[in-house]
Amino acid sequence: MALRSRTGFYRQEVNRTVWEVPERYRDLRQVGTGAYGTVCSAWDRRTGTQVAIKKLHRPFQSKLFAKRAYRELRLLKHMKHENVIGLLDVFTAEISLDRLRDFYLVMPFMGTDLGKLMKLERLSEDRVQFLVYQMMKGLKYIHSAGIIHRDLKPGNLAINQDCELKILDFGLARQADAEMTGYVVTRWYRAPEVILNWMHYTQTVDIWSAGCIMAEMLLAKPLFKGNDHLDQLREIMKITGTPAADFVVKLQSQDVRIKTTTKTPKCSVTVHGLCQQAKNYLRGLPKVPQKDFHSIFSKASTNAVCVLEKMLLLDPEERASASEALDLPFFAYFRDTEEETEAQPYDQTVDNTDLTLEQWKRHTVTEVLTFRPPKDSRETTL
């Protein structure tokens, strides 16, 4: 299967790596690098705007990497919402399938992320209101597509100079990540059921993370700063209080195991019920009552505290959904229900299949070739 020819492309070295990009993208400058790829800012001569170009790190080095690269491309193609990062362009300079080594994703350039912004300045409550409103609109959209983010944190919330926010890296967090890169993600924003390795968690894991992020915006420091998984649970329960007996019973009806650190003996998953260690741990906790959120967030308004009380609930079934959260008075000032759109369901059939490296490559090429740029000019002017 032939791809676009090299005509119209040029080569540039970026941090000892050769980038091969179309002539329209100029002035490449590295702005970030991570486990999965490098991002450069570039000037798009066709639209007269700055864009971000991501070059994935050896996307076809293994089945695992190829599957992840394919999924990232498909997710980005699917997303069309102003608070979720979308795709402006995708390209490769390779001419044939057997020579395909790399492909590049072009996205709106945002400039910074919430983590960096919080280090620079203390956010006023009306700014928190505006940013959390955008985050919840983005989550409502992602969740309506049937996708769970799983790793929402300040570094995954991109922000531009107009304080507009877009959610990055949605639906990509997988248990395989640490195996692939040795990179261990921060646990400060992880829901208790994720720490407990609850097998059947839902989209409300993202609501917990959103609550942790909002709390950090108001306090100017992380709310739950655990040193390991058990310490993280301890920190959480100092504020939420220890779980009621019926919560432990509910956990027992699920396949659950506790994530262990190297100091703790490995705990295997039981087919029925909760791993003994996790059950004993939760049962053995001294009873602590829930803390009054108004005392923790003494400088925040009642409406802001109300949002946190509905997000930071130990029982995932009790937490507000993104839609329910948007109805709260805290967001009334900025609210525009027409912007709170839902997505088409995302079809995960291919994502969940076990294919050969060559098949993943072929699927990826099809996705590259069938890409159509967004018609909405607002998406390209950010």
Distance CA 110, CA 102 (A): 24
Q: Which of 93, 1, 83 is nearest to 55 (CA)?
A: 93
Catalytic residue set: 151
φ and ψ at 104, to 5 degrees? -125, 140
Report yes or no: 302 and 292 within 8 Å, Cβ to Cβ. no
**Of 56, 88, 53, nearest to 70 (Cα)?**
56
Beta bridge partners of 54: 39, 105
- 180 token code pair: 């692939």
Cβ neighbours of residue 223 closer than 8 Å, sequence gap 6 or more: 188, 212, 215, 216, 239, 312
Residue 118 host element (H or E): helix 114-120
Residue 85: which of 97, 95, 72 has the closest Cα? 72
Per-residue tokens: 176: 């395989």
First to last CA, the chain: 34
170 φ/ψ sector (left φ>0, alpha ψ -120 to 50, else beta) = beta
